[in-house]
Structure 1
Amino acid sequence: MAYHLRSGSAPSSPRSSKPQVEQQLQSLSATISSPLATIDTTCEGLRKLADIYSCIEEMMCAPSNQVSLCRTLQRVAVEAELGRSLVVLDLCNAMQETLMELKMTVQELLLVLKRGEDTTCQVKAYIRLAKKAQKQFKKISKKTTSDKNDSRVVMLMAEAREITISLLESTSCILLKQIEMPKWSLVSKTLQKSKVLCEEEQLRALECSIEDLESGVELLYRRLIQNRVSLLNALSL
């Protein structure tokens, strides 16, 4: 069963310290790299990552951290991280568009399957979209390395950004595995009616899962925007 996200998720620990946030980031990183990762765990990962960004935002809004961020040396690092965060926002936008297109393709696949027609065209379209997203994230992930920095807030932002890119890339990989060409291209010709109904049920579940991912990415995008606003406000003090 797909995990349904709540759009108004609140931080699990509003006063999280740096060690606690680092522990959450490490745990999330392990989940992403696990070969057992699924769409459900990815949806949960998006929610947790949004919570982490909220914790980081609270840390950067602390008076002592705001003073630190405004220092000359730290300001350079903060401005660099602000620039890199734009890349992540662009990736979130790209993922939202991909998810919307994938959902539409799944809906078309359902209609074709019900009519008993050849599904090759829709399956190829789905695979093409998922592969395109996968290549995009691999390309971007090589360009967003961070410099070492003494600011704990900037360091946590950099770690969260790198994990965000990894999570979005992992999402595209998992989505690609949901439909296999040999299985689906001839499904309407080779399966009995009961089997076709089973495949329809799986496609509906995939559609719901993609909707969950859409909600997760949207929540993450909003938290990223909030982080940028808070960081810009800190620099303007």
Structure 2
Amino acid sequence: MAYHLRSASAPSSPRSNETKVEQQLQSLSTATSSPSATIDTMCDGLRTLGDLFGCIEKMVCTPSNQASLCQTVQVRKAVEEELGRSLVLLDLCNAMRESFMELKTIVQENLLVLRRGEDASTHAKTYIRLVKKTQKQFKKITRKTVSDNKQCRVVMLLAEAREVAVSLLESTSGLLSKQIEMPKWSLVSSRTFQKSKVVCEEEQLQALERGIGDLESGVELLYRRLIQNRVSLLNALSS
């Protein structure tokens, strides 16, 4: 069952806004790192994280925060460093989006194979290789995203949200990999199908296809919000 987080709408007080965003980031991190997390949990998490980045972007755009982001050389440097790290996260989102598109294509091909009663072993191996490739890309990228910046509260929230995003995407990749390796997700079948088995496998693949589509939409939302945050930060630096 999906973990439903509270709405990420921004309260009126700037301080309470920051506190609420920080609390929801912590709740989101706990929910998506839980052993009981599902694809639905990750989909909800991506949507919530997109909303939280939207709240942070609104904070960045306030006159007081725009002034504070350029107040000292140290804070300005912290903002520039966070802008650099956000590019890494954007690259990760792009890699995940491409992988989701390929995964959906392979799932659709497997559905056709099942319905024709053919051997799905080749497609299954391709599917597993693709997920492992995604995980390798992810691990290579995430090593560059760690930040210990505490110079500015808004920048600190951006860093925390980015780290939650990286963790969420890692958990998503791992969850997909585990589901593929589990017997109930096995795509390799004998040439002689029992009707009930074929129906069951079709339902599993259709559910997986829907889940990947929802994950794709969530990553797309996150990507758009990251771009908006970058634009707002760059505007603040140039003001």
Whether the TM-score (by the shorter chain) exceeds 0.5 is yes
Residue by residue over 1:24-56, the C-alpha shift from the partner in whole angstroms, topping out at 9 and shown as x without a partner, is 010011012101111000000000100110111
Instruction: Report how far residue 164 of structure 1 moved.
Output: 0.7
**1:187 match: secondary structure:** coil
CA 1:2–1:106: 2 relative to 1, 3 Å: farther
Query: Any unmatched runs of 5+ in structure 2?
Result: none
Q: Does the Cα contact within 8 Å between 1:60 and 1:66 map onto a contact in 2?
A: yes
Instruction: Name the counterpart of 2:174.
Output: 173
**1:210 match: secondary structure:** helix
Instruction: Name the counterpart of 1:29.
Output: 29
The answer on 1:110 being equivalent to 2:111 is yes
Distance 2:128 2:209 in 1: 15
Q: Does the Cα contact within 8 Å between 2:66 and 2:236 map onto a contact in 1?
A: yes
Which of 218, 234, 237 aligns to 2:236? It is: 234
**2:180 match: secondary structure:** coil
Q: Does the Cα contact within 8 Å between 2:8 and 2:24 map onto a contact in 1?
A: no
Residue by residue over 1:146-185, the C-alpha shift from the partner in whole angstroms, topping out at 9 and shown as x without a partner, is 1332200110000111111111111111111232376635
Instruction: Name the counterpart of 2:9.
Output: 12
**1:145 match: secondary structure:** coil
Identity of paired residues, percent?
A: 69
Instruction: Name the counterpart of 1:63.
Output: 63
1:49 alignment partner AA: L
Distance 1:233 1:221 in 2: 19
The answer on 1:194 being equivalent to 2:196 is yes
Residue by residue over 1:178-204, the C-alpha shift from the partner in whole angstroms, topping out at 9 and shown as x without a partner, is 323766354243651111111101111
1:51 alignment partner AA: D
Instruction: Name the counterpart of 1:209.
Output: 211
**1:36 match: secondary structure:** coil
Distance 1:103 1:52 in 2: 28
Q: Does the Cα contact within 8 Å between 1:53 and 1:224 map onto a contact in 2?
A: yes
Count of matched residue positions in the alignment of Structure 1 and Structure 2: 231
The equivalences for 1:132-151 within 5 A come to: 132-151=133-152
Normalising by structure 1, what TM-score?
0.91
The answer on 1:90 being equivalent to 2:87 is no
Distance 1:42 1:141 in 2: 18
Moved more, 212-221 or 130-139: 130-139
Cα RMSD of the aligned pairs, angstroms, is 2.0
Normalising by structure 2, what TM-score?
0.90
Q: Does the Cα contact within 8 Å between 2:89 and 2:145 map onto a contact in 1?
A: no
1:43 alignment partner AA: C
2:39 alignment partner AA: I
Q: Does the Cα contact within 8 Å between 1:2 and 1:205 map onto a contact in 2?
A: no
The equivalences for 1:150-165 within 5 A come to: 150-165=151-166
Distance 2:69 2:86 in 1: 16
Distance 1:191 1:94 in 2: 36
Distance 1:57 1:38 in 2: 28
**1:177 match: secondary structure:** helix
Moved more, 83-92 or 167-176: 167-176
Query: Any unmatched runs of 5+ in structure 1?
Result: 4-9
Distance 2:44 2:36 in 1: 14
Moved more, 44-53 or 56-65: 56-65
Runs of 4+ in 1 over 6 A off after TM superposition: none
Q: Does the Cα contact within 8 Å between 2:90 and 2:226 map onto a contact in 1?
A: yes
